[in-house]
Structure 1
């Protein structure tokens, strides 16, 4: 099995996907190990020679920054920090995202500016490699002093506290230690703060959403192309000439994708078509393309973030400096997570409009795409469902990043609310997937109602694959099952 070396190359969204999809093990590279050991040694030497207060290392935290803590109590200080900050509540964070949190926290600590012990980072590596996933909760982070509450829950099992998922069982960390023959770690100065400061909750959600977004954007083009053919649309809006004179990359890519999907279609080649198509069909390159370009920018922000040191204070052994700064502040992520919500919500919005057009009983298609409409309601209510979800997405697109509530008795007086942006972004991702699944049902139904004419070989193959799960709708049946199967089809396949 391939082993990914932490601390050699930059993480990218693509490399994270490969690590997760191929279930790669990870290990600290020699370079990362050297950096971690050097930084820890520097801090130990520093503390042995000074009694000056250094924030978070021999002082209290936040508003309690001026409270000096005796050297004999520094270990207890870090232990208490994890316990007191583990204030998460709400639903459990999905386990795939918890695994990403572990990976991204290890990556951040590997740079040697956090002064954690090598044994601490290695235990996190062991968690990742053994699929030991701490129980973390969705609510509790302001996205500014790092993701304090969720990262505290992520770190609790290191000291024998909290709960973990292991081998499909949720168990107390004490039981895990018995199974693995481990002893709880005794944290040294600064370690607890290094573990709970950072943006890995927001970052993990963002990476996960970006991985899902890549598949959804590919499906959006495939489903739109099917709908375009099923609605008897023109090929003109996808020809190169109009796009090279407005050459946004995403627009050019989308137009080419649509042409590729439609190549060889009998339907698109028909004569006597209407002079123009509705915007939801005609403007697919412009709308889908804008979302693609937005996602590309958002990805660049997250790829910078997941290769950064985001705890506080930052320790610089070579410069003999310990700097208390603000790399834990999640504003870059809060803004882009809100942006990702909007970019993906628009994919759902235009998809719902195409569904509406397909069931409208125009262009030679029967109302609601069913024979004997009246006796049968056909796909009427699928559009209601899509409309409901599209409307929910509009509500979820209210930006979290413009909000702030003062915390820590005024010391932490501006926060990003990026954690809220992260959790609602995941909801938008799921919603768009369901909207596209509904459009896929309607587009495939309409396509078969065009027989004997056929679409392109590529779309016809997609139809055949889809029909293995969702059959043609002859008469009314329980459509919730069809929607669920269509969602599964999108999840399980790459167009």
Structure 2
């Protein structure tokens, strides 16, 4: 390409609106170094090391596809860094989701041996890590810098991290739902296989089957006389709501898998013709929309959890003491915790507000469309934090309801899964220990991590 003097974006021309500026052959390395430096614009909080690891792995696989025309030595160095746990430090803000150039610049900075990095999970100077491991920095040639930077690997990697945690939380929420049903003395007919199968929705059928498995052995299946003829919808249709969320997750994963199987590079090398071609493959609107659908589904999950918490406190529905008060007269019960639950629910709804179409034209209006995927992915992680809180509150309320219903015989009345993963001892239910909410939240997070290993 250089030999026939064809103008190629990012190879012998500058980028963005400066695409009309020609780069002389004798300043190629300086141009590439400056391209990296000028795009070190990310700010905000440091993302988890786990996200950095996912992002780098995505970019390695993309580079190995051969569409970038990058120097193979750079790919080898990035692979070696990944295998020796040397990872870039990414900051959350700095990309609008049409290739994460402003964030992936941290990876390019690492390749040229500058800045700081994670090494075995610890912050260190890149040059120190390179010296310890015998790595040599790579000099960036034509198009090498853009080949590293021009990708949505950060937004997608962060989304994978968020979706993975959402899946674990929804699995845990099923068990907690089962415990809430036991605390309420709920009707189990809505989750019976004959009822679920009649709907013919595979996601809802699986959600009901999972809940039945968690409740296996529970007193709820003993056909005893129940006080309520029909439960509130937050109980009756809980598996339908969870099924909808899992359906949204499945669609998002399918969209992500399509992305991972292809290339989002611009420009790209056509291996058959040898031409370097301009593309629009960096647009990930479909992924952003699928992620926003997950976030919308979680508003339904969250609100139904909040409703269940209220119902568990309602003596007219449960037949238990109002606000699950253990000793009448001088205790307030769990009524005030409804405020904490509502706060978490409202935060989830606020964060789930769609933003994929919120953008302006940049770079002289050359870049006039954005997907906002990194911000959407970040919001999902934050939503998960609030969902963990409201789930912990449901667990707290459900455990107290079960204790009040059965006292020390609770463990004998619960399902196989709810008694092992959901039940909390009466000691922990002491209303003088509201700090237990924080402990329960930490337990829930710990259970998530254990289940992901």
TM-score computed with the length of structure 2 as normaliser: 0.93
User: Are residue 396 (structure 1) and residue 355 (structure 2) matched?
Assistant: no
Query: 8 Å contact 1:367–1:373 — kept in the other structure?
Result: no
SS in 2 for 1:91: strand
Structure 1, unmatched stretches of 5+, are 1-45
Alpha-carbon distance in structure 1 between the residues aligned to 2:65 and 2:447: 38
What secondary structure, in the 3-state scheme, does the structure 2 residue paired with 1:245 have?
A: helix
Is the CA contact 2:313–2:335 (under 8 Å) kept in the aligned structure 1? yes
Q: Counterparts of 1:120-269 in structure 2 under 5 Å? A: 120-144=74-98, 146-269=99-222
What is the distance in 1 between the residues matched to 2:118 and 2:415? 47
Instruction: Check the 8 A contact 1:404/1:415 in 2, yes or no.
Output: yes
The question of whether the paired residues in 2 share the 8 Å contact of 1:199 and 1:310 is answered with yes
Taking the aligned partners of 1:92 and 1:178, their CA distance within structure 2 comes to 25
2:88–2:116: 8 Å Cα contact kept in structure 1?
yes
Which residue is 2:298 aligned to?
A: 344
User: How far apart, CA to CA, are the structure 2 residues paired with 1:422 and 1:126?
Assistant: 28
Query: More deviation in 351-360 or 226-235?
Result: 351-360
Once the two structures are superposed, what CA deviation does each residue of 1:425-472 show, in whole Å capped at 9, x if it has no partner?
A: 1111221122112211211221121114612233223346x54xx943
Shift of residue 392, structure 1, vs aligned partner: 0.4
The farther-off stretch of 373-382 and 410-419 is 373-382
Mapped partners of 1:163, 1:460: distance in 2: 47
Let me know the Cα RMSD of the aligned residues.
Answer: 1.9
SS of the residue aligned with 2:315?
coil
Q: Say whether the 8 Å CA contact 2:241–2:301 is kept in structure 1.
A: yes
Deviation at 1:489? 4.7
Contact 1:135–1:162 (CA under 8 A) maintained in structure 2: no
Give the Cα–Cα distance (whole angstroms) in 1 for the partners of residues 338 and 443 of structure 2: 15
**2:360 aligned residue:** 405
2:416 equivalent to 1:461 = no
Matched, 1:491 2:448: yes
Question: 2 CA distance for matches of 1:182 and 1:262?
Answer: 55
Equivalences for residues 326-341 of structure 1 within 5 A: 326-341=280-295
Poorly superposed stretches of 4+, deviation over 6 Å: none
Cα distance 1:90–1:272, how it changes in 2: closer, same or farther (>3 A)?
Answer: closer
1:309 to 259, 263, 272: 263
Output the CA distance in 2 between the equivalents of 1:345 and 1:206. Answer: 18
Q: Which moved more, 1:211-220 or 1:478-487?
A: 478-487
Would the aligned equivalents of 1:406 and 1:412 in 2 still touch at CA under 8 Å? Answer: yes
Q: Distance in 1 between the 2:339 and 2:447 partners?
A: 20
> Structure 2 regions of 5+ residues with no counterpart?
none
Q: Give 3-state SS (helix, strand or coil) of 1:380's partner.
A: coil
* Cα distance in structure 2, aligned partners of 1:60 and 1:485: 49
Q: Is the 8 A contact 1:361 1:367 kept in 2?
A: yes
TM-score (normalizing by structure 1):
0.86
